[in-house]
Amino acid sequence: MASLTLSIQRFPIAGTFTIARGSKTEAVVVEVHITADGITGRGECVPYARYGETVDGVVAAIEALAPDIAAGMGRETLQHRMPAGAARNAIDCALWDLEAKRSGMGCAELAGLPALRPVTTAYTLSLDTPEAMARAAAAAADRPLLKLKLGAPGDRERLSAIRAAVPDARLIVDANEGWKSPDLPFLLEACAKARVELVEQPLPVDADQRLERLERPVPVCADESVHDRSGLADLRGRYDAVNVKLDKAGGLTEALALAEAAHGLGFDVMVGCMLASSLAMAPALVVAQRARWVDLDGPLLLARDRTPGLRYDGALVFPPAAELWG
């Protein structure tokens, strides 16, 4: 018999985190524990309003599966019992962690993958004025890959100011659906001029068909437009890459399958995250091993992380200790 418990955790953000859709000062996560034979596996998810999720709704969905967990439901059955999303992510990652701890094998080994290695993560700069973002970029100049939150009037000025502040940094852009179709050619050209190497989700999901008819001087990555494998093939011609996030995919199980399918269809892969603690980042590191871009800086943006947390050394993030996950 297994038992499931959960709790709501709040982590203050270091300052304010701003994207095109708004600002926040704390990360609210749901932590799941699944215990069997005296061993506990843990998972963490972020209910995300953009996808119609609430903390209460996610908690209710997880609690509804407690009898199935008690009866021994595994990850494959979970895939069919719950839709992709935050609730399934927390349960799935807890089941991976439990299996690893019961077997004495790491999750990478369970997945048939080589041992995890450190990867370089992007560091995110919140949307702000051109001057403020340039100062933030200069302060982070020792990080080789910066992710710029854009999606508001003045983005071309932001790009120019940031590139002048950090002439050698690699840059990626996330517009969070904030650009409009008529402006897209000019904004992509500004990105190309600023030597941006990837642009995430420039248009709203219901307008991204415009990308099929557009010459893209910078590769474009689907974020809000892709959650799991369903519909992935329809994105060919619109996007050059996909952003795999465990909260969207509904766990590590689907995220690994999504990344594999994306590679098979010729997409580059980015691994991203919601704003959360190290417990949410740790499973994503399994998928990140084959990703071209990694954006797992969530704990770096918090005023405090959980203990133990992931080890960050500059832009390098290291595999989790068993005490944390996996």
Residue-range domain boundaries for the chain: 2-104, 119-317
Q: What CATH code is assigned to 2-104?
A: 3.30.390.10
What pLDDT is stored for residue 1 in this prediction? 85
What pLDDT is stored for residue 92 in this prediction? 98
Name the catalytic one among 147, 149, 180, 193: 149
Whether 248 sits among the annotated catalytic residues: the reply is no
Q: What CATH code is assigned to 119-317?
A: 3.20.20.120
What pLDDT is stored for residue 61 in this prediction? 98
Chunked in runs of 10, what are the mean pLDDT values of the chain (326 residues)? Answer: 96 93 94 97 97 97 96 95 97 98 96 97 98 98 97 98 98 97 97 98 96 94 97 95 98 98 98 98 98 98 97 97 96
Q: Which amino acid is at 181?
A: S
CA–CA dist 298, 124 (Å, integer) = 9
What pLDDT is stored for residue 20 in this prediction? 86
What pLDDT is stored for residue 228 in this prediction? 97
What pLDDT is stored for residue 240 in this prediction? 98
What pLDDT is stored for residue 144 in this prediction? 96
Nearest to 311 by CA among 121, 30, 113, 92: 121
Whether 149 sits among the annotated catalytic residues: the reply is yes
Assess contact for 30 and 276: CB atoms under 8 A. no
Give, for 11, the enclosing helix (H) or strand (E).
strand 2-19
What pLDDT is stored for residue 10 in this prediction? 97
